[in-house]
Copies of this chain bind each other. A is one copy, B any other.
Amino acid sequence: MSIRIGIYGYGNLGRGVECAIKQNSDMELVGVFTRRDPASVKTVTGAKVYHVDDALGMTDKIDVMIICGGSATDLPVQTPALAKHFNVIDSFDTHAKVPEHFSNVDAAAKESGKIGIISVGWDPGMFSLMRLYGACVLPDSNAYTFWGKGVSQGHSDAIRRIDGVLDARQYTIPVESALEAVRSGKNPELTTREKHTRECFVVVKDGADKARIENEIKTMPNYFADYDTTVHFITKEELDRDHSGIPHGGFVIRSGKTGKELEHIHIIEYSLKLDSNPEFTASVIVAYARAAYKLSEAGDKGCKTVFDIAPAMLSPLSGEQIRKELL
């Protein structure tokens, strides 16, 4: 019997989930739920499209609802609301609001007897796991997270809001010398500027004041002011040709000490190099959707994060098989 999945929200992440489900033979996609007119939505693999208003009539047809909305305004509302009716999973990534979101989803899921897994993906997600495992196995240690090289959607959007800008793509790039300093076990103190640089490819309107735009980007608080930022003005054709992908990735590096006098150094490094940020995020979510289903079948309920879920729950294989093949 398959695990029956619904996709709630159909953008890049939703399309990634749709493709990922095809790669997991123990799952089937019931359909995609959209706020748009379903007739106007064409899915990647031919999945059925429903209006979001139809979701609550299908609680008996869906084992896990994967919520693919945005963290700013969608998920804080959608995940608790849907957890009242479905096992749910989301990729909520507004770090400061995790406690509040966890608490809201937990209350809803406990009331309905469902499972809600929040903040799944690679960061938060796989990177969080690496930070936690490292902290536990090396208590005297420091962890460093680097992102990139990859496209930051938030930073690209921020540039697009500048007057005179038609389109933009921003890459976050880790500083190689900072990575090397961390890998050496020196436990360096690194400023924001020392860890990452930002590279921007910007398409502007004819006659726009490039100097003003470049200055507005480089001095933008929070987004760019604390970084060494490079701005390239290119044509729309160049942007579409050279910068249409959504690659990302990064590093979690932990440097710790053991021994009687803490004389031995250990370096743990986890890195991701992703051709498609949304597709990898989707793949992680789909594995955790399996865990949501298994936990629910076992009678568990409430809100979970990746920290609360035993790795074996992610696998379609039996405990015996994974011990034999992967231990």
- Which residues of A line the B interface, CB within 8 A? 16, 19-20, 23-24, 44-45, 95, 98-99, 102, 119, 124, 126, 128-129, 131-133, 135-140, 183, 258-260, 263-276, 279-280, 282-284, 287, 290, 305-312, 314-315, 319-320, 322-324, 326-327
Contact = CB atoms under 8 A, between A and B. Distances in A.
A23 B311 contact: no
A99 B314 contact: no
B137 A287 contact: yes
B267 A272 contact: yes
B259 A19 contact: yes
A324 B142 CA distance: 17
B271 A327 contact: no
Given A24-B139, A280-B258, A311 B322 contact: no
Given A23-B140, A264-B275, A323 B307 contact: yes
Contact of A266 (B140, B258, B274): B274
A272 B258 CA distance: 14
B139 A23 contact: yes
Contacts of A45: 260
Given A23-B139, A258-B23, A270-B269, A119 B275 contact: no
B258 A99 contact: no
A305 B326 CA distance: 11
A312 B132 contact: yes
A68 B327 CA distance: 19
A95 B287 CA distance: 26
Given A138-B283, A258-B23, A327-B128, A319 B311 contact: no
A54 B272 CA distance: 49
Nearest to A23: B139
Given A279-B258, A283-B137, A311 B266 contact: no
Given A45-B260, A270-B270, A314 B140 contact: no
Given A272-B267, A283-B137, A311 B132 contact: yes
